[in-house]
Each structure stands twice: as structure tokens, then as C-alpha cells.
Amino acid sequence: MNIPSSIYIKVYKLTGNQSMKNTEHFKNKLLTLKDELTQRINAIDKDIKHEGMSSNWTEQATERENDEVLESLGKTSEEELIMINHALKRIDSDDYFSCSLCGEEIPSSRLELLPFTIHCVSCAEKIND
């Protein structure tokens, strides 16, 4: 059965702003980031636990230094993961495109660069000051 293309256009228009703003695109982007971060955190955890620990003292000292780097890297990754989960919740509740401070729309171009931001440019600048 052939469906006239005008019906598709109507359906598209009915879904309104939501699909115009391409929520799916950002959701997929966030889910990909989330996967990458989860893998990174798991890899860091494994490294810190030292599977195949060395018996050499010098190497152990180097490993301890590495641990500090790894721990701070792991902390940053976990913080990012929290922000990503928060952004995913914002998508589900339709808040993703509005600034959490002033309620203004966050431009897609900004979300493209910082998919887990919750602030518009001017609010982000105010916070950083």
C-alpha cells in the first residue's frame, strides 16, 4: 500500500518542537559518551587494582605515582558520568534545551560541543566569573 507523502509531513509537524530540535541525536551522543566513560572507569579500576603486580621496588614506586594520576582521571570521568546521566534525565523531562538558571534556550551548536551542559552561554560565563 502506498501512503501519500503528505501524511508523513503532517505526522512530522504534529510531533512539533521536540523532533525539530533533534533530541534523539543528542540522546545517542550522550549514550555513546556514557559507554566510553563507563569503559574508561572500568579500565582505570582494573589498573589501580594491579592485576599482575610487580615485585620490583622501583616499579612499585612508579606504580604508586601512576595510581594518583589514575585516581584523579577516574574522579573526573565519574564526575562527567554524573553530568551525562543528569543530561539524559533532562532529555526525558523535556528540559534539555533550556538553561537550568535562566530558562533560555541553549543553542544546538553549544550542545553539540558540550552535550552535557545545563547552562546557556551567558549563564556559564557568569558562573565562571
The contact set with Zn ion (CB under 5 A) reads 99, 101-102, 104, 120, 123
Shortest Å, Cβ 117 to Zn ion: 10
Closest to Zn ion by CB, 24 vs 112, is 112
Closest to Zn ion by CB, 77 vs 96, is 96
Backbone angles phi, psi at 124, to 5 degrees: -60, -40
Closest to Zn ion by CB, 44 vs 99, is 99
- What is 52-102 written as a DSSP string? T----HHHHHHHHHHHHHHHHHHHHHHHHHHHHHHHHHHHHTT-TTB-TTT
Q: How far is residue 2's CA from residue 21's CA, in Å, rounded to a whole number?
A: 29
Q: How far is residue 18's CA from residue 63's CA, in Å, rounded to a whole number?
A: 49
Shortest Å, Cβ 92 to Zn ion: 21
Closest to Zn ion by CB, 81 vs 106, is 106
Shortest Å, Cβ 20 to Zn ion: 21
Shortest Å, Cβ 79 to Zn ion: 21
